[in-house]
Amino acid sequence: FIFASSIISILIAIMKKKIYDINILFALGAKNKLIYCVFLWYSLIYIIFGIIFGTSIGLLISSYFDKIIQNIEKFLNTKFLSSNIYFIDFIPIKVIYSDILYIILLVFSLVIVCSSYSILKIIHKNSIRSILS
Task: Identify residue 17 by its one-letter amino acid code.
Answer: K
Alpha carbon of 97 to those of 33, 51, 101: distances in Å? 37, 14, 6
| Dihedral angle, C-alpha 37, 38, 39, 41, nearest 10 ° | 80
- Tell me which H or E stretch contains 92: none
pTM higher than 0.85: no
Q: Where are the domains of the chain?
A: 1-30, 31-130
Per-residue tens of pLDDT for the chain, all 133 residues: 676 677 667 777 777 777 777 778 778 887 888 888 888 888 888 888 888 998 999 899 988 988 888 898 889 888 777 766 666 666 778 889 999 999 889 888 887 887 787 777 777 776 555 544 4
